[in-house]
Chains A and B, each alone.
Chain A
Amino acid sequence: MASANYPEAEFDELQRRLIILRVGLLLVVALLGLRLWHLQIREGPYYRDLSENNRTRLVLLEPARGLIYDRHGVLLANNVPSFSLYVTLEDVKDREGLIQKLTDLLGLDPALIRKKLAGKGSKLLPRKIKDRMTLRDATVIESHRLDLPGVMVQVESQRNYPGGVTAAHLLGYVGEVSADQLEKPEFADLHQGSVVGQYGVEKSYDRHVRGAAGQKSVEVDALGHEKKTAVVEKPQAGNDLYLTIDIRLQKVAEELLGEEFGAIVALDPTNGDVLAMASRPAFDPNVLSRELTPKQWVEIVQDEGRPLNNRASQGQYPPGSTFKVPMAVAALETNTMSPSSTVHCNGGYQFGRRRYRDWKAGGHGSVNLHTALVHSCDVYFYTVGQRMGIEVMADFGKDFGLGQGTGVELPSERSGIMPSSAWKQKAKNEPWLPGETISAAIGQGYVTVTPLQMASLIGTVANNGVNYRPRLVQAVMDRTTGNLQELPAVPRGKVKAKPDTFRVIKEALADVVNVGTATRAKSSLVTIGGKTGTAQVTALRTGPEKDIPKKFRDHAWFIAFAPVESPKIAVVVLAEHMGHGGSAAAPLAKEVIETYIKLAPQVPLVTSDSSKTGHARRSMGQS
C-alpha cells in the first residue's frame, strides 16, 4: 500500500540522483584528502616547526659574575640571589591587560613596563621587567600565576658591593646592556636584559667577569606555564679578579677626603700597582646597579658634585707648582741649569710689559735648584721656562706621560693637556705667545693634568725614571679551570736622565717635607719626599683666601713618595678648593703613607703554592 505513493518514474529518478550524490561525495572527499595531504605532507615540516616553537621556550640562564677581591683577597663585589620578573610576549594575549595587572599587583610604572615590552628581539625570549623584587612581590606573582600568562619569576644573582661606596669609582657598577651596546661586536653574545659592567673595573674587565650565559629549554603550555625543563647548556661563571688596591688603604684615603671634593691616588712606583684610588664625592654602586627611575638618574647626573666623575682619572686640573718637578728634571738634563747655578728672586719676573709675580711677595733671594724646589720659588722656574722654551718643556712633559692617558684600565680616562705651539695652533688656531711659556713653567695656563698622571709622574721620579703603566688588576682566576693568571707589570718607557739628576731632585723633594713648603707632611715613621702645588682656579684674586667664595678658591696639590731611600709608594692628593697644597693636601698624603708603612710587612701577593687555588687566598685575606 505504501508503494502506491511511490511512482515508478520518480523512483528511477531518485536512483539516478543518488549516483550523482555518490560522485559528488567522492569528489568532495578527494578535495579534503588533497587539502590534508598539502597540510601534512607538503607543509608538514613547516607546521612541525611551528608546533615546536609553540611549546618550547629557550630560557637564558644568566651566568654568575666573577667576584672581585682586593690585593689581599678581601671581597669587594659578589652576587646575592634576587627575584626577577620576566614576561614572554609570545604567551601574552592581552598586553595592556597584563600591564594593568602588574601595575595593580606590584605598583610598577605602566609606562616603564610598556617600554620594556616594546624592545626589539624575539617574542619567544622572556624579557626582564623588574629585578630585585621583594620576596613579597615574588610571592604575589606566583600566587596569581594562573591570571598572568607569560609571566615568570626567576631567581637570579644580583651584583652586590659589600663595601657600599668604598672604592665605588674603581669597582664601577653593572647594569643592563643598552640597545646601543648591543649593536657593538663585543656584546654580540649578549641579549636584552644581560648585565654588563657599565663603569670602572666592572666595565673595563667585563669580558673577564661576565661569564657566558647558559640555556634551558622549557616546555610550556598555551598559557605559558612551565611543564618540563631541561638544561641545554650550563651557564659559565665569570672569572674572579684580584685588584691591586689594598682596601684598608683605600678606606683611609676616602676617609681623609671626607666630605671634601678631590682625589687621592697611591701607586707602587716599582710596578705601577694602584694601591688606592679615592675620588669624592662618590656614589653607591649597589644603587646604580639597580633599575633606576629616570628621576633618580637625573638627580645623579645633575648633582653639582658630579659623583659619577672619577676625579683621579677624569678630573683635569692645572698642576700648579707640582709641575716644577718635571721642570727641574728638564732644567738639569738640558743643562739649562746646573745644580749649583743660581737665579736671583726679588718677588717677580719682568717679561715684556708684564711682571710675573712670585707667590712670596718679597722674593726668595738667590736660589739654586734645591732651594727653588724646597721653597717653590716661581721666579727660578720662570727663568728656566723662559730659557728652555715651550717645545723642550712639552717634550719632557710627554716623557713623563703628561698630555696623554696613563693607559689605566678604567673607562674614559682623560689625558690632560701638555701644551706646545703645535698644540695651540691645532686646538685654538692661534700662535703660541712667549708669555704663555712663563705661565706654563709653574704649571698654570694651558697645562692640565689628572691626579693619576701626577701619581705616575712622581712615581717615575721616585723610581729613577722607570715608569710603569698604572694597573688595577694583578690576577684573574679562571672559574672553570681554577687557574690563577697573574698579570705582569707593564713597563711604559723610561725618562732618560743622568743618574745624578734624580738624586738631586729627590734630595730637594725630601727637604720640601723637612724644611720647605710641606713640613706638615713630615713623618716620624718614614722619610717622605714631595712637592706642594696650588692650582689657581681663577686669575681674579682679590683679598685674603678666606674671603673668596669656595668655588673660586685654589685647588691644593701634594705629590709625594716614600721612603725617600727606596720608594715603595707614590701618593698624590688633590683637594678641590682647599687652598694651599702645603696645608690642605700634604697632611693627607702623610696619613696615607704612614698607613701604608704601618700595614707592611705585607703578605706577599701571590706565592707559588697559593697560586693553584684561589680559595686559599680568599680565606687568607679574610682572616
Chain B
Amino acid sequence: MIDRLTDNRGLDSFDLRYLGLILAILGIGVFSIHSVTHAQQGGIAPYYLKQLVWIFLGAVAFVVMWVSDYHRIARLAYPAYMLVLLMLTFVLLEGRTSKGAQRWIALGPFSFQPSEFAKLVLILVLAHYYSKAPRVGWLQRVIVPGMLMLPGLVLILKQPDLGSGLSFVAVYAAMLLMVGVRSQALGVILLFSVMLFPFVWEGVWGSLHDYQRQRIMAFVDSDYDPSGKGYHALQSRIAIGSGELIGKGLYGGTQSQLKFLPEGHTDFVFAVYAEEWGFLGVLILLVLFVALIWLSLEIASKAKDELGALLAVGIVAMLCFCVVVNIGMTAGMFPIVGIPLPLVSYGGSATVMTMASLGLLLNVKRRRLSLFY
C-alpha cells in the first residue's frame, strides 16, 4: 500500500521546468530544420513535419519510460542488449546503406538505427550490472563491464559509425568514473582527461601529416570528408562565424540556405542555428542545455538507490558527450565525427532514443520518494 501511495505522488514529481527545457530545445531544432530544408525540398514530406512525427513518437516513448518502474525496465537490460546485438549484426549483413555506411534497418516506410538504441540499452546494462554485482577487485569493477560493452562497440565501429562508437565508450567511461574506479583522485584525473581530451585533440591531430590523418580517418571513419580538404569543417566555421552577434535571422542563413553547408539539418544543425541566430542565440541554447543537464545531475544525486543514480549518470554522460562533441566539431575544435546534437538534429532514432532516456531520467526522480517506505 505504501507502493500505491508513492505512485500517486509520482505525478507531483513531474517537473515543469524539465519539460519546458526539453520542449524549448526541441522547438529550436524544428525551426532550424525547417529553415535549412524548406528551400531545398521536392515532393517528399518536409523534414520538419517528419521531425514532428518523431517527436510525437519520442513523447510516447518518454511517457512509457516515465511511468513504468525503472527496476522493471532494468531487469529487461540483458534481453534488450541481446536484441540490440542481433539487430546490429543484421544491419551489417542486410542493412540499408547510406553514405557508405550500413546503419539502418528498414521497417516499411521507416528505417531506424539500432546503434542509437544500443546506447540507451548499454546504459541499462551497465547500471543494472553495477547495482547487482558484488564489486570487489578490478575484474568485476572494470574488466567485466568492459567485456559487456565490447560486442556492441565492435559491431557499431564495423558499420562504421565512429560517433555512436565514441558515445558508447563515453557511457562506459562515465560509469567507470562514477562507481567503477575506487580511488577518487584517479577518478578525477580520468574524468578531466576524458572531458578535456577533445580540446587537446586538435593539437595532437594538427601535428600529424596530412597522409597520416587521412589514413587514420579512413581507418576509423570513411564517412566524412574523405578528400581531406576540410570542406565541411570550413563551411561550418564560416556558417557559425558569419552569424556574428545577432545572426542573419530565420531563413537568412546563406551558408545553409544555399547548400554550402552539408548535412545542415542533421549533424550540422548547430551551425545553421548559429548562423541564423548569432552568438546570442548560441548562448541561449547553451544555457538551455546546461540547465537540462544540471537538472538531470540533480536527479542523479537525489536518486533513491544506486540503480537510479547510475541510470541518471549514464544518461547525463551521454547527453553531455553528444552536446559537447557536436558543438565542438561544428565549431572546428574537434575532428568531424558523426554525432547529432540531441533533441535538435533531425533524425528519428536519435530523437526517440533521447526522449526515451529523458523519460527514464524523470522516472528515477519519481521513484526517489519510495525511499520512505
The interface of chain A, by Cβ under 8 A from chain B, is 2-3, 5-6, 10-11, 13-18, 20-22, 24-29, 31-33, 35-37, 39-41, 43-48, 50-52, 54-55, 219-223, 227
Contact = CB atoms under 8 A, between A and B. Distances in A.
Given A22-B294, A25-B320, A54-B235, 5 more contacts: A3-B371, A21-B178, A22-B297, A36-B240, A39-B240
B238 interface: yes
Contact of B258 (A11, A18, A37, A220): A220
Contacts of A220: 258
Interface of B: 71, 131-132, 177-179, 184, 187-188, 191-192, 195-196, 199, 235, 237-245, 254-255, 258-260, 274-275, 278-279, 282-283, 286, 289-290, 293-294, 297, 300-301, 304-307, 309, 313, 316, 320, 324, 327-328, 331-333, 371
Contact of A31 (B199, B238, B290): B199
Contact of B71 (A2, A11, A31): A2
A36 B331 contact: yes
Contacts of A227: 258
B354 to A, nearest CB: 17
Contact of B243 (A2, A14, A29, A44): A44
B260 A44 contact: no
A17 B312 CA distance: 13
Nearest to B301: A18
A586 to B, nearest CB: 74
B282 A40 contact: yes
A36 B313 contact: no
Contacts of B278: 40
Q: Is the interface of B mostly helix, strand, loop or mixed?
A: helix
A6 to B, nearest CB: 4
14 contacts: A2-B305, A3-B304, A17-B191, A28-B195, A28-B320, A33-B283, A39-B332, A40-B244, A41-B245, A44-B244, A47-B242, A50-B241, A51-B239, A222-B260
B290 A40 contact: no
Nearest to A47: B241
Among A40, A41, A45, A220: residue with most chain B CB under 10 A: A40
Q: Is the interface of A mostly helix, strand, loop or mixed?
A: helix
B184 A43 contact: no
A24 B192 contact: yes
A365 to B, nearest CB: 94
A40 B241 contact: yes
Nearest to B324: A28
Given A5-B305, A33-B286, A40 B279 contact: yes
Contacts of B320: 25, 28
Among B132, B294, B309, B332: residue with most chain A CB under 10 A: B309
B293 A25 contact: yes
Contacts of B241: 39-40, 43-44, 46-48, 50
B134 to A, nearest CB: 9
Given A5-B132, A14-B179, A40-B279, A20 B237 contact: no
Contact of A17 (B184, B242, B255, B274): B184
Contacts of B333: 32, 35
Given A18-B300, A54-B238, A55-B260, A48 B184 contact: no
Nearest to B370: A2
A10 B255 contact: no
Contact of B282 (A36, A43, A47): A36
Nearest to B305: A2
A135 B131 CA distance: 77
A32 B331 contact: yes
Contact of A40 (B191, B235, B240, B297): B240
Contacts of B331: 32, 35-36, 39
A223 B258 CA distance: 9
A219 B260 CA distance: 12
A227 B255 CA distance: 14
Contacts of A37: 279
A35 B328 CA distance: 9
Contacts of A16: 184
Contacts of B71: 2
Across the A-B interface, the 4 shortest Cβ-Cβ residue pairs: A47-B241, A44-B244, A51-B242, A222-B259
A20 B244 contact: no
Given A14-B178, A220-B258, A24 B279 contact: no
Contacts of A28: 195-196, 320, 324
Contacts of B192: 24
A51 B241 CA distance: 9
A45 B244 CA distance: 7
B300 A32 contact: no
B117 to A, nearest CB: 25
A40 B245 CA distance: 6
A138 B254 CA distance: 30
A50 B242 contact: yes
B179 A40 contact: no
A5 B131 contact: yes
Nearest to B194: A24
Contacts of A29: 286, 289-290, 324
Nearest to A55: B254
B328 A51 contact: no
Nearest to A18: B301
B184 A13 contact: yes
B244 A41 contact: yes
Contacts of B239: 51
Given A17-B178, A35-B333, A55 B328 contact: no
A539 B309 CA distance: 117
B370 to A, nearest CB: 9
A2 B307 contact: yes
Contacts of B313: 14, 18, 21
A36 B279 contact: yes
B240 A27 contact: no
Contacts of A51: 238-239, 242, 254-255, 260, 275
Contacts of B178: 14, 17-18, 21
Contacts of B307: 2
A25 to B, nearest CB: 6
A36 B199 CA distance: 14
Contacts of B188: 20
Given A40-B241, A44-B241, A27 B177 contact: no
Nearest to B279: A40
Among A16, A36, A48, A54: residue with most chain B CB under 10 A: A36
A54 B132 contact: no
Contacts of B196: 28
Contacts of B316: 21
Nearest to B188: A20
A41 B241 CA distance: 8
B261 to A, nearest CB: 8
B260 A10 contact: no
Contacts of B187: 17, 20
Contacts of A13: 184
A321 B275 CA distance: 85
A349 to B, nearest CB: 85
A440 B341 CA distance: 95
Given A2-B307, A25-B320, A47-B238, A41 B279 contact: yes
Contacts of B245: 40-41, 44
A5 B306 contact: yes
A17 to B, nearest CB: 6
Contacts of A11: 306, 309
Contacts of B275: 51
A6 B324 CA distance: 31
Given A5-B305, A31-B199, A54-B254, A24 B191 contact: yes
A40 B195 contact: no
Given A22-B294, A54-B258, A44 B242 contact: yes
Given A35-B331, A45-B244, A221-B258, A50 B238 contact: yes
A219 B258 contact: yes
A47 B237 contact: yes
A81 B302 CA distance: 79
Contacts of A2: 71, 131, 304-305, 307
